[in-house]
Amino acid sequence: MSGVILVLSGPSGCGKSSLTNEVLAKNDDIYFSISTTTREIREGEQEGVNYHYISKEQFQKEIEEGMFLEWAEVHGNYYGTSIRPIEQALQEGKLVIFDIDVQGHEIVKKRYASIMTSLFITTPDEEVLKTRLVNRATDSLEVIEKRLINAKSEMARICEYDFLLINNDFAETLEKFEAVLKVARLKQSCQDREQFCTGW
């Protein structure tokens, strides 16, 4: 059987990375899609682990060379998903997790609808998000304000997702996240279904 996709979206600071790191440590059938970005590396982040960090010029070149499955401008920086490692992981039958914004979700859905599940994660309210971003202390107040405005416009599109998780209690959210992963693994491509049908 070929692999499946879980698209994860939600405002920065809602807990997507912590949840993903937890499940990555426990499941070797999961491949996390490492995006390429032009934003500056944050303290605690590592090249090739969180992102591939490149210049705007290099990013532009990779767009022209058709390297990206999708790309978008978020908070004034570019973020993109490279096609090749994704196709490889899907061929290996992996569950591929994308942490991408609402624009990326729309594009991936068009291409991979039959094998894709989508999940939007957010905080109980805007105040909680602001507090988390301030406590994380990785962004200036100006950047935090930008992220909050962006969060509001992303929240307006939560109905486009299969599931919504409100991350209030981490352990509880993790349990629900694992349930979504189980469901995501049950998707099959039309090709796999047709093959099954032929053999049946």
Contact residues toward ligand 5GP (CB under 6 A) are 9, 12, 35, 39, 70, 72, 74, 79-81, 99-101, 103-104
Distance of CA 128 to the CA centre of its chain: 21
Least distance in angstroms from the C-beta of 90 to ligand 5GP? 16
Nearest-CB residue for ligand 5GP = 104
Closer residue to ligand 5GP, CB minimum distance, 3 or 104: 104
Q: Helices in 51-189 by DSSP H: which ranges?
A: 56-64, 83-91, 102-112, 126-136, 141-155, 170-185
Query: Which residue number, 3 or 68, has a Cβ lying nearer to ligand 5GP?
Result: 68
Distance separating the N- and C-terminal Cα atoms of the chain: 15
- Cβ 63 to ligand 5GP, closest distance in Å? 12
The C-alpha angle 11, 14, 18, rounded to 5 degrees, equals 125
Nearer to ligand 5GP, 20 or 27 (CB): 20
State which residue, 6 or 74, has the beta carbon closest to ligand 5GP.
74
Phi, psi at 124, each rounded to 5°: -60, -35
Q: In what order do the strands lie in the sheet with 68-74?
A: 51-53, 35-37, 77-82, 68-74
Distances (CA, A) of 181 to 24, 104, 148: 11, 20, 28
Minimum distance from CB of 139 to ligand 5GP (Å)?
8
Q: Select 7 or 184, whichever has its Cβ closest to ligand 5GP.
A: 7
Q: Is 3 left (phi over 0), alpha (psi -120 to 50) or beta?
A: beta
Nearest distance in Å: CB 114, ligand 5GP: 21
Q: Which residues contact 78 (CB under 8 A, 6 or more apart)?
A: 37, 38, 56, 59, 71, 72
Q: How far is the CB of 199 from ligand 5GP (least distance, A)?
A: 37
CB of 32 to ligand 5GP, least distance (A): 11
Q: What is the Cα gyration radius of the chain?
A: 17
Q: Which of 62/99 has CB closer to ligand 5GP? A: 99
